Amino acid sequence: MAQQAYMTETDNGGSGPERPGSRLRRLMRRLLAGWRGDPRIWRRGIVLAVLALLLALVMLMHSRVPNTVGNLGSLTETFLPWLGLLIPVLLVFGLIRKSATALIAVLLPAIVWLNLFGGLLTDKTAGGGDLMVATHNVNADNPDPSATARDVASSGADLLALEELPASAVPVYEQALASTYRYHAVVGTVGLWSKYPMSDVKAVDIKLGWERAMRATVATPKGPLAVYVAHMPSVRVKVEAGFTARQRDKSADALGEAIADETLKRVVLLGDLNGTMNDRSLNAVTSQLRSTQGAAGSGFGFSWPASFPMARIDQIMVKGVEPKSSWTLPRTNSDHLPVAARVTLDTSS
């Protein structure tokens, strides 16, 4: 039985097989026909246009959003990429309202968002790299630390930083990682495991009163590398206080001072900074180091919460070395995703 071709009206009034895209063209013609000659398309949707302009302004001027009330500026910057979800919502409402004014206005936040985050949508990963590094907030309440240790060790990282290590679980992590990493050091609640010798291990004072940051010199095959491991204080969103991050901000400033005083030219920072690269409160750190995700990643690399990642608060940052690739590792028993990167050591520095 011969297959019957689906026939439809063509542009010249005849009939024939429906061409790809013809249905979309018909829908667009009907839409424009409903708008053509209607002077209200410019008067409708003024509120939508104003909302679009405000959205563009917030994204463009996010560094000017004040922190004086509930650290609103830092809260906005933490979830800044997600403001882009409002753009298609405004677009749909503009179409429903048949408002040319609103549709034109929506172009502004779209352009601003692409300018801020468009680069993260492209794949910047490259092959090679002298060293693979990884970091993971393992969660103090981790129900199976041994399994988590094995999971992250299987990534093949040469250097592995762990944060939120309770004293009771340190021996478990040490035993689980002993066969993969010959060298390790734990300072307070953070630790560094390495396939290469380490020296000059010391705590870094981040103004907390207890130890949550450390520094070590790693003797890589291509020379010494200063490695910092840090776990910034947690931030909270409270109805009565807003985005509370004062202690985190103070610790970030202290960490930035320590990095500024570093004598080695090649530096890697691994850790849970409890903040994103957009957060102005981390400027003391982010102004000195490059994010491997921004330089050599694919996508946003969100790491928290593990069940539905919404923000990149676990960071791998570098100075004097070249990022080649950056990615998140599979979920473990923690509430954070591990993150990893490959870097090339700059032997000329």
Among 113, 190, 203, 164, which residue's Cα sits nearest to residue 335?
164
Query: Domain residues of the chain, as ranges?
Result: 17-121, 131-345
State yes or no: pLDDT of 274 exceeds 90: yes
Q: What is the pLDDT of residues 249-266, one digit of tens each?
A: 899 999 999 999 999 999
d(Cα 158, Cα 151) in Å, to the nearest integer?
14
Q: Is residue 317 packed enough to be buried (19+ CB in 10 Å), middle (13-18) or exposed (0-12)?
A: buried
Cα–Cα distances (Å) from 80 to 33, 55, 77, 145, 332, in that order, read 38, 11, 5, 33, 27
Vertex 189: Cα angle to 231 and 306 (nearest 5): 55
Q: How confident is the model at residue 246 (pLDDT cuts 50, 70, 90)?
A: confident
Q: How far apart are CA 293 and CA 295, in angstroms?
A: 6
- Reported as a single tens digit per residue, the pLDDT across 289-323 is 999 999 999 999 999 999 999 999 999 999 999 99
Give the confidence band of 125 by pLDDT, cuts at 50, 70, 90: very high
Domain 131-345: CATH class, spelled out: alpha beta
Can you name the residues that pair with 213 across neighbouring β-strands? Answer: 230
* Predicted TM-score of the model (pTM): 0.85
Among residues 254, 172, 190, 267, which one has the least CA distance to residue 224? 267
Q: pLDDT for 38-90, tens place per residue?
A: 677 888 899 999 999 999 999 999 988 887 777 788 889 999 999 999 999 99
Q: What is the mean pLDDT of residues 279-288?
A: 94
State the pLDDT confidence band at 3, using cuts at 50, 70 and 90.
Answer: very low
Mean pLDDT of the chain: 89
pLDDT tens per residue, range 149-208: 999 999 999 999 999 999 999 999 999 999 999 999 999 999 999 999 999 999 999 999
Please report the pLDDT score of residue 163 as a whole number: 98
Question: What is the predicted pLDDT for the residue at 209?
Answer: 87
Name which of 266, 301, 292 is nearest 126 in CA terms.
292
